[in-house]
Amino acid sequence: MNARELIDTARALVADYKGLLAMDESIPTCNKRFAPLGIPQTVEARRAYRELIVTTPGLGECINGAILCDETIRQAKRDGTPFLKVLTDAEIIPGIKVDLGAKDLAGHPGEKVTEGLDGLRTRLTEYSQMGARFAKWRAVIVVGDGIPSRACIEANAHALARYATLSQEARLVPIVEPEVLMDGEHTLERCGEVTEKVLRIVFNQLCNQGVLLEGMILKPNMVLPGLTCSKQETVDEVADATVQSLFRVVPAAVPGIAFLSGGQSGELASARLNAMNVRFKSRLPWALAFSFARAIQQPALEIWRSQESNVPAAQIALSHRAKCNRAARRGEYNSTMEKNLSMGTTLPQLVSPAA
């Protein structure tokens, strides 16, 4: 294992107040996002959408790394330039999602375990040779009556640790993503308890397997009330609960924590990340960054709707969310940034897909 290289890459991923862009939706997930907008669920539509993202002007000013999926890492711009080259030319580090999805956990109704360890060493070697420098694996933890079970947390934590060691062996920085889902009626306190328990067991497994903590990034959920919980805490309360849980369980040796957005709106995700960086600025042992998919992409996708003429406006929207999140890392985001976009930018006229 090349420890120095892993440490340098991990630090570079969260350097300079920038963050990560998750654009690694699997084919079914990408199609699910396309369907309600009338976008064709085809290889070409997915390629064109990813071309829109990677060619967004100035993306590298806010984004250090982009996470791709297996389909996208092999794709190219319409003019033939591989996406990997487009990203590295923009000084964005390419990464790859390597899990094969969350499947039902046998014997535990309602719970999931992420698969993909079989043959992983060979796949990691190929991605590393292609030019990827980091790898992501997502575990899914559902909160409900009597769940998550210890069995579910341990199975997922073990898989995360196995993938993380294999990634480091292949010179790829692991982005360790244990996601406690927002779905449900649970309170913020319950989300905090579950998040802490999951992270404790994950770090225990990472240490058992010998993962170099300085050469990884943690990608957790924020500590949030369930989507249908009657009490929805303020931005500051969410920031305090999230950082309190992280202080308790994430070793200071980890260089960066890059949150997933999990279905929060882009504006809320930016506001909550900003509040964490404002309120704990001088006390954080790790960089508090972002690795959002929906909270960066969704407005752009809704503008694009597979119309070539909407590409410039969609790119402005994508770039705007990336800028808001860079500002949030500095603790300099505020809602006037959102107003500035709607008032100060003339969006090209939008076209809707043909019926």
Under the rule (CB under 6 A), what is the footprint of ligand 13P?
Answer: 22, 138, 177, 260-262, 292-295
Which of 18, 97, 112, 219 is flagged as catalytic? 219
Nearer of residues 181 and 212 to ligand 13P, judged by Cβ: 181
Which H or E run includes 224?
Answer: none
CB of 262 to ligand 13P, least distance (A): 4
Cα separation, 194 vs 191, in Å, equals: 5
CB of 225 to ligand 13P, least distance (A): 17
Length of the chain: 355
219 catalytic? Reply is: yes
Which of 177, 308, 332, 339 is flagged as catalytic? 177
Which H or E run includes 147?
Answer: none
CB of 263 to ligand 13P, least distance (A): 6
Query: Contact, 126 vs 87, CB < 8 A?
Result: no
Nearer of residues 20 and 316 to ligand 13P, judged by Cβ: 20
Cα separation, 95 vs 64, in Å, equals: 10
CB of 111 to ligand 13P, least distance (A): 18
CB of 138 to ligand 13P, least distance (A): 4
Residues in a beta bridge with 82: 76
Query: Contact, 185 vs 228, CB < 8 A?
Result: yes
Nearer of residues 101 and 110 to ligand 13P, judged by Cβ: 101
Nearer of residues 114 and 205 to ligand 13P, judged by Cβ: 114
**Which residues, including other chains, have CB under 8 Å from residue 71's CB and lie 6 or more apart?**
27, 43, 46
Q: Which two tokens stand for residue 167?
A: 């990634």
Nearer of residues 124 and 258 to ligand 13P, judged by Cβ: 258
CB of 3 to ligand 13P, least distance (A): 26
Cα end-to-end span (Å), the chain: 54
Q: Which of 319, 320, 306 is nearest to 350 (CA)?
A: 306
DSSP string of 297-334? HHHHHHHHTT-GGGHHHHHHHHHHHHHHHHHHHHT---
Q: Which two tokens stand for residue 121?
A: 């060493």
CB of 4 to ligand 13P, least distance (A): 27
Query: Contact, 149 vs 111, CB < 8 A?
Result: yes
**Which residues, including other chains, have CB under 8 Å from residue 243's CB and lie 6 or more apart?**
276, 279, 280, 284, 288
Cα separation, 261 vs 302, in Å, equals: 17
177 catalytic? Reply is: yes
Which H or E run includes 60?
Answer: none
Nearer of residues 164 and 293 to ligand 13P, judged by Cβ: 293
Cα separation, 351 vs 115, in Å, equals: 40
Nearer of residues 221 and 310 to ligand 13P, judged by Cβ: 221
The residues carrying an active-site annotation are 177, 219
